Chain A
Amino acid sequence: MTAKATTSSTWQQDVLDADGPVLVDFWAEWCGPCRMVSPILDEIQSEHPGKITILKLNVDENPDLAMQYQITSIPAMKVFKQGQVEKTIIGAKPKFALEKDLESYIG
């Protein structure tokens, strides 16, 4: 299962109005480490479907959101709860490290 994409136009309902925690992965085509983290996030999503929703946001296509959330380095992952950023993870990390960072959500 691949994590779905979100965009500026669907941001409100996908992220801000969502019920549970939402992890948004800020990425770009030209970002090598982003491409390596992407399948890892897909795996984490498949393994924990009910606990957290993982969405991907392309910063080239949605520069307004990248600026709004002060993204200065990608991959950057932000976990949203009730529309607020609860956690920020910056930089590519191996699966076991990401699972540790997301422990409080995925258990």
Chain B
Amino acid sequence: MRQVIIIGSGPAGYTAAIYAARANLEPLVIASSVEAGGELMNTTDVENFPGFPEGIMGPDLMTKMQEQAERFGAEVLYDDVVSLDVTGDTKTVTLGSGAVHEGEAIVFATGSAPRKIGIEGESRLSGRGVSYCATCDGFFFREKVIAVVGGGDSAMEEATFLTKFASKVYVIHRRDELRASKIMQERAFKNSKIEFVWNSAVVDILGEDAVTGVVLEDTVDGSRRELALDGVFVAIGNDPRTHLVHDKLELTPEGTVWVDGRSSRTSVPGVFAAGDVIDPTYRQAVTAAGSGTVAALDVEHYLAARGEASLPATDAAQIDGLPAADPATV
């Protein structure tokens, strides 16, 4: 029986693992058999995670986080959770390999998955010209004409990255202004291979065995036209991965796992959640990491209240012999 099982291996999962390990809780991290490391594994330079003035490659940052967690005693399993039972005091996690693990507490940090447009042709042509990962598939579009659908930072980064391979990159966006950060917008605007297609929604993706183009609908006047393309990269945001818990934990109207205020406590005692799976708004690596800390500290308090771990100090001042802070506000 584990004290805590952490489901997820992105910044939230690993930060929770670091803190839990340092609190001697010997966490088990279920890291996914093929998607370990989370969304940052599919990105190149991460320039906005604090502490890296030269930037750091997404996969390298995740490798470091995993090393840090393992250094303090976290155990990482490359396997997938296929079901969980959180009804009793003992939580049970069943993995794809068939292994079953029991824990006193769970940290649910499964993150978010790339959102699909949700149109015909999209699933059929997924992997045959429709892609959700520029760094993964850009290689195959050398000297081709492709499009990135989206208007946020990810779309800008993907479009800019893809100009390394493609002869032309269209950025197709529903509105006439981007929601990307200014610096990312400027980079894209300055790139001569990128052409913006404004006020356009992709309503169909064309092609038999491979993508040949898309059908665009003007979001202002409703007119339609076809655009010939060799590839379509979808970068319209992410949806929280709640399929394992949607019938077990309360969800918010946005579809994320509900947590109590700024804590990580879900609607089920002993189950805590962190990262993109609880955050419909900010969804940054560093905000996910921060929420992983919150989860680990909440787990610690939970276990201590059940008598499983020694009570942690609520305030540094308390350790120093000064008046303690009110634990309710910690």
- B34: contacting residue among A30, A36, A71, A90, CB under 8 A: A36
Is B127 touching A32 in the complex (CB atoms < 8 A)?
no
- B210: contacting residue among A31, A72, A74, A93, CB under 8 A: A72
Write out the residue numbers on chain B whose beta carbons fall within 8 Å of the beta carbon of A71: 140
- A70: contacting residue among B35, B78, B209, CB under 8 A: B209
The total of chain A residues at the interface (CB under 8 A) is: 23
The total of chain B residues at the interface (CB under 8 A) is: 27
Is A92 touching B129 in the complex (CB atoms < 8 A)?
no
Q: Tally of A-B residue pairs with Cβ under 8 A?
A: 63
Tell whether A18 is near chain B: CB-to-CB under 8 Å.
no
Q: Give CA–CA (A66, B34) in the complex, Å.
A: 22
- A58 to chain B: closest CB distance in Å? 12
- A36: contacting residue among B36, B42, B210, CB under 8 A: B36
- A93 to chain B: closest CB distance in Å? 6
Is B128 touching A32 in the complex (CB atoms < 8 A)?
no
- A95: contacting residue among B33, B126, B128, CB under 8 A: B33
- B139: contacting residue among A28, A36, A95, A96, CB under 8 A: A28
Tell whether B37 is near chain A: CB-to-CB under 8 Å.
yes
- A73: contacting residue among B79, B96, B97, B136, CB under 8 A: B136
Write out the residue numbers on chain A whose beta carbons fall within 8 Å of the beta carbon of B170: none
Tell whether B276 is near chain A: CB-to-CB under 8 Å.
no
Tell whether B160 is near chain A: CB-to-CB under 8 Å.
no
Is B210 touching A70 in the complex (CB atoms < 8 A)?
yes
In the complex, chain B residues 199-213 whose Cβ is within 8 Å of any chain A Cβ = 209-210
Write out the residue numbers on chain B whose beta carbons fall within 8 Å of the beta carbon of A66: 140
Q: Give CA–CA (A104, B152) in the complex, Å.
A: 43
Tell whether A102 is near chain B: CB-to-CB under 8 Å.
no
Q: What would 13 A/B residue contacts be, using CB atoms closer than 8 Å?
A: A32-B59, A36-B34, A36-B35, A37-B34, A70-B209, A70-B210, A74-B140, A90-B128, A92-B34, A93-B34, A94-B80, A95-B33, A95-B97
Residues of A within 8 A of B (CB): 28, 30-33, 36-37, 40, 59, 66, 70-74, 76, 90-96
Residues of B within 8 A of A (CB): 33-37, 41-42, 59, 78-80, 82, 96-97, 126-129, 131, 136-137, 139-141, 209-210, 231
